Amino acid sequence: MNKVLIVVGDATETVDTLYPYYRLQEDDFVPVVAAPIKRLYQMVMHEVKPGWTITKEWEGYTIEADIAFKDVKPQDYLGIFFSGGRAPEYIRYDEDLMHITRHFFEAKKPIASVCHGVEIPARAGCVKGRRMATVEKCKFDLELCGGIFVDEPCVVDGNLVSGRTYHDHGQYIGKWIKMLIEARDAAK
């Protein structure tokens, strides 16, 4: 088993998505892009510009979904990554995605989340008592759902690894990849 889900939707953050997508391949994992339906998705780039108090958004690259949420058999996947951007705010209402999310938490498989990605496990009821990093503007969602906000570039809570933004990828993605390698080796 070496397939890992990457959850996206329209307005998924480009760097949040592509860094783990290619990083997974470096360690012989197969990243599988999952979305509401199987089609091409427009990603975006996010940055708080100097002097701005809100996030500026530009169009980024596109990414093709390999599979629709309704067709995912979560038992076939080793881990999952919740990308950031605006997508989680909208796709978190998809019941198939909620089922997938709960599977990974219940099975204690390696999970990673960045930025707004926290909105998905929060909506699925999976963050109660869990420590997570996210952006300040998602602190409310996390805490409202019982999670514990930590303002650090890498937070590890059991099988869950999280970072605040793509600026933290170098801090938390490696820890998640290590968990995936250990899980893959244990399954052999």
Domain coordinates in residue numbering, the chain: 3-113+169-187
CA–CA distance, 123 with 169 (Å, rounded to integer): 23
What is the block-wise mean pLDDT of the chain (188 residues), using blocks of 10 residues?
96 97 98 98 88 84 98 98 96 98 98 98 98 96 98 98 96 98 94
Q: C-alpha angle 145/176/155, rounded to 5°?
A: 45
Cβ pair 2, 184 in contact under 8 A: yes
Specify the DSSP class assigned to residue 23. H
pTM for this entry? 0.96
Spatial distance between the Cα atoms of 89 and 42, rounded to a whole number of angstroms: 15
| Nearest one of 95, 101, 96 to 118, comparing CA atoms | 101
Give tens-digit pLDDT for 118-150.
999 999 999 999 999 999 999 999 999 999 999
Check residue 1 and give its pLDDT.
81
- Give the active site residues: 116
pLDDT in tens, 146-164: 999 999 999 999 999 999 9
Asked if 62 contacts 81 with a C-beta cutoff of 8 angstroms, the reply is no
Superfamily classification of domain 3-113+169-187: Class I glutamine amidotransferase (GATase) domain (3.40.50.880)
| Under 8 Å between Cβ of 5 and 72 | yes
Reference 61, options 97, 95, 16; nearest CA is: 16
